[in-house]
Structure formats: structure tokens, C-alpha cells
A and B are shown apart, each in its own frame.
Chain A
């Protein structure tokens, strides 16, 4: 037992290291991608403060904010999916499938209808609104999926999630029809999962959520491990099931809502990243949570880079790239599950 534990840990470190290299490479390529040609050498030179004024503007004003947002959103979505899968004991749980994205979209729609603008310091509020939308859906789903004798039923959770998502999408659509033309065009693109944040203020809006919730989730990996054993056993080994579940669920909702706020309704990352992570480093949360976050980062950064470079000049939203790869993977999982 002990032996397998340490070998798993070794493996987690090894995979983590390789992934870190891939992350760095993906980010570098992404920084390198754009209309203005900028070789990696001048990217590095500019970072060291020795670039030309133009290089500085391209890197710090145009590219870096967007890439940071993509990275943070990727981590948030990957981790959120990992936490949800642990909590629900269901490998198909994903913030998108569970309806959290629909809730977040609903929150955004309320925000857009109310403030009319997505720019400037007000945009710091966007994650808060998507979070409230997310919490609302999560509360509804948990309430409806709760069985007094058996607790939250994983299968019911997914089905109810789909139903609630449909309901919220309908309301969102209703609100979106009352928007101005340009705002409507923006929100419909956003809902597909387009990394729209371009400014540092958007990084500032997203960073606190990731900086607080990711360490919290990592610190709770033991509780998550306990949850995978089932509620009875978890109580048996001394976990405060009710409170912990609520806190972790809130963390997952917070992460996915913040990610969705800035990167749009990117589905499947929350599903694919934890899956790959589990196959890479095994089922212990202390191992696969950080790996899932890193995989989320790589997937979203690569998808965004592909989306905005491969199809020039008409950039396609990252969400579509992810879905194009994620949907078949989801089907593959379903088929294999039988």
C-alpha cells in the first residue's frame, strides 16, 4: 500500500513536470501568435525590459492580458470539473453539463441588461454576477437532486442539471432578445465560449477567484478523497460531510463561474481535464487536482491560439475548438462506460 502510494506520488511529480514544460511552451507559442511577427527571442527580450516600444505595446497591452485570462480560466474550469466529479462521484460531472454555465450565463445576462457595458472597472463585477447565477443554479440542482434518505443522488444530479440548464437558457434567451444589436452579438459570441477579455482590468477581475479558490480546493483533497468512498464511509472516517460538501461545491461553482465570466461558456474542459488527469496520475485528489488544472490551462490556451490563428482573419471562439475535440471525447467516454 505504502509502496504504491510513493510510486504514485513520484509519477504525479513526473507528469506534473512534463506538463509544466508543455504549459510553458503553449504559453510561449500563444504569446508568439498574432498579426505582428514576434520571434520568441524578442518576446523574452521584451519581458526583460529591452524591447522596442512597439514590442512592448504588442506584448503587454495586446497579448499578455488575454493569455493570462485564458490561463486562469483554463485552470479554473479544469479544477472546477475535478472537484465536481469528486463530489458527485460521477465521472460525467462537468460544470457545463451540470448547468452551472447556463446559470453563469444567466448572471451575465442580468449584468448586461443592468449595466449595459462590459468595459472599465465595472467589469470587476462580472464574475460576481456569474457567480450568483451559478450559485442559484447549483442550489436549485442540489435541492432537486436531494433525497432525504440517500443524500444527493449522482445520476439525478446530472439529469436535473440538464433540465435546470434548459430552463435558465430559456430565460437567458428571453433577456438577450431585448438587448441592443451590438450587445446581443457580443453575448451570443460570449455564450459560445470566446475569450473576450483584452485588458488588465479583466485579469484583475479573474485573478482573486483563482488565487483563493484553487489553494482552498487543493487543501481539501483529503476530504475529496473521502467523498469518493461514499457518504457513509466519509462520515465514518470523520469528515464533516454536510458542511464540506457545501463549501467545496461553492468553490467549484466560484471557479467555473469566474472562468465562464471571462472566457465564456467553454464546455468539456471540466470533463476532459479531470479525466485525462486521472488516467495520468491516478484517483488521489492531491495528485490529480493540480494536474487537472494544468491540463485545463493547456487545453484552453491551445484552443484559443488555434482559434485565433488557424482561421484568420475570422477568429473562431475557443469554446468551439474545445467542443470540436471535447464532444467526441465525451462520446468515447460514454461508449467505454458501457
Chain B
């Protein structure tokens, strides 16, 4: 009998732990400013007032920031579990809505946004659910470049002139960076490789890196890069095949964590690496994950800023 009660006691304790646990998150989930009811939140925002937008894609968040609009809520980076570092300082008052693959529906509802921006890749199946909360705009980020997405966003928020100006500035800056790059590597071919703790990934022509390097900066893709399937953002390769790309310059996108750093160090000591054309010519550029992998207006612009600084000398 004693054992019976002991077991039940343990159960009750476990259950109390759960009960205590749920009070903690509620305190930081400060109720969002509640404006209007569910009914009128679906109305378009009155002109002159910024719409209250909830973004369910980190890239759409960056598009909005490029137009000077701060979303009231946004999903966070999947690996970081936080806003992307290069835009985090502009999102201080933005509510975190979980990761894109599993957004926090309740936070979204509590925010009472006027409109929800979603990425077709992730949201297509849940649009009906989002529509119940607010009008939902779905963007296909694979359709065209970030310029197309930026224009679409600008049209919705009535900031088309800003978008045009942003793109113009960007193109001019890209031309400048292109020149300084050319002075360094001429018309040599370029390879972009991401080093993660587990593997090496060669980027394809697709977003995030492809359009930036091979279109905006007019660099020539290394041998085989254009052969990577159009459906893939990257291909996992082993170290031995790096020489096959025969690249004149290599961009290394290095993950922040220790494992990736270690792998990169180990790679640098290998004879294969030291024999690479780009390494011998000292044309290896190590760039941070962000903003380089945030393929959006803001991300591309900041990646360009980074490149401009590097190649200015």
C-alpha cells in the first residue's frame, strides 16, 4: 500500500512540475497591444499608417526592413533560434514567432496583425489557418530574384519608389564591387563553399549565394557549379573533389560553431587544400553565414557592404 501512495505521489510531483513550468513562459509573453477586434483587423490599413505585418519568413522580414518597415512579429532563424544577427538590432520590438517550420500560432493570434506574409515553401499547407487570423500574402521566394520579391512587397505596402531607389543603389554598388573584385581575380572562376560541422557544401547557381556572385557581381561560376541540379541550393561534396572545380577564387561561408571552425582548420592543413589554385593565389575569402545566406534585399545589400569593405584595398 505504501508503494501505491509513493508511486502516486511521484506522479503528482511530475504533474506539479508541469504546472509550475507553464507559469514561466507566460510572464515573458507580454500581451501585445490589442487594437480592434478580430473582425476589423482584416480590413486594410488606413492610408498613411503603417500596416501591422507579421512575417513568417526571415527573408520576408529582411525585405520589409529594406523598405523601412518593421514587422510587429517575425519567425526566427531555424538554426539560430533567434533573429538573424545582421538585422537583430532593428527587430528589438518585434515579437518572435518561433521557427518557420513550426510557427507559434498562438503568439501570431495574440499579435492581431493586419496582414501575414508567408513563404510558399513552408506555408502553402497552412494558409487556411493563417487566413483565419488575418489576411495572408504568400510569396514564392524562388520566383525571380530578391528584387522581384521586394517589388511585390513594396506594391502591397505602397512603397514602390523606395523599392526602386533601393534596387538602383544596390545595382550601382554592385558595379563598384564588381570592379574592385575584377582587379583582384580578373575574370577567373569562382566557387562558393559552406563549411558546416558535418560536411562541405558547394553552392549551386540558385539562391542564396548563386545570384549574388554569378549575376550581381558578374563572376564566372567554377567548372561544374552550373551542373548542380536547379532544384538544389547546394551539393554535399567530399574534400577530394574540390580540385575538380578548378576555381580561381573560393568564397568560404563558415558556420559560427566550433565544429565547423575545426573542420575548416583541418581542411586548411590538408595537402589537397594547399594544392588548390585559389589557395596558392591567396584568393580565398572567408565570409560569415549572415548576411551572406539571407537572400533578400537587406541580406544581399549587407553582403555587398561586406564584400565592398573586403575588396576595397
Contact = CB atoms under 8 A, between A and B. Distances in A.
B96 interface: yes
Given A276-B7, A279-B4, A35 B107 contact: yes
A61 B24 CA distance: 24
A310 B12 CA distance: 17
Nearest to B26: A37
B104 interface: yes
Contact of A35 (B3, B12, B110): B110
A57 B112 CA distance: 13
A62 B105 contact: yes
Contacts, number: 99
Interface residues of B, number: 38
Contacts of A312: 24-25, 28
A36 B14 CA distance: 23
A325 to B, nearest CB: 8
B21 to A, nearest CB: 4
B15 A22 contact: yes
A34 interface: yes
B38 interface: yes
Contacts of A331: none
Contact of A313 (B14, B101, B104, B121): B104
A11 B5 CA distance: 12
**Residue from B18, B78, B104 having most chain A Cβ neighbours under 10 A:** B18
Given A35-B29, A61-B129, A302 B12 contact: no
A142 interface: no
A33 B96 CA distance: 18
Contacts of A11: 4
B270 interface: no
B90 interface: no
B81 A18 contact: no
A35 B26 CA distance: 6
B96 to A, nearest CB: 6
A117 B8 CA distance: 41
B309 interface: no
B24 A36 contact: no
Given A37-B29, A279-B4, A305 B81 contact: no
Interface string B14-46: 110111011011101101000000100000000
Contacts of B125: 117, 119-120
A25 B109 contact: no
Contacts of A124: none
B110 A302 contact: no
A25 B16 CA distance: 10
B98 interface: yes
Contacts of A119: 125
Contacts of B98: 313
Nearest to B23: A309
B25 A309 contact: yes
Contacts of B143: none
Contacts of A30: 18
Contact of B19 (A18, A29, A61, A276): A29
Nearest to B6: A279
Interface in B71-110: 76, 78, 81, 96, 98, 101, 104-107, 109-110
Given A54-B38, A280-B7, 8 more contacts: A30-B18, A33-B22, A37-B26, A182-B101, A279-B4, A299-B14, A309-B25, A313-B104
Interface of B: 3-4, 7-8, 11-12, 14-15, 17-19, 21-22, 24-26, 28-29, 31, 38, 76, 78, 81, 96, 98, 101, 104-107, 109-110, 121-122, 125, 129, 132-133
Top 7 nearest A-B pairs (CB, nearest first) are A310-B21, A312-B25, A35-B106, A33-B22, A119-B125, A309-B22, A36-B106
21 contacts: A18-B8, A25-B15, A29-B18, A29-B22, A33-B21, A33-B22, A34-B106, A35-B29, A35-B104, A37-B26, A61-B105, A62-B109, A119-B125, A120-B125, A280-B8, A295-B11, A298-B15, A305-B18, A309-B21, A312-B24, A313-B104
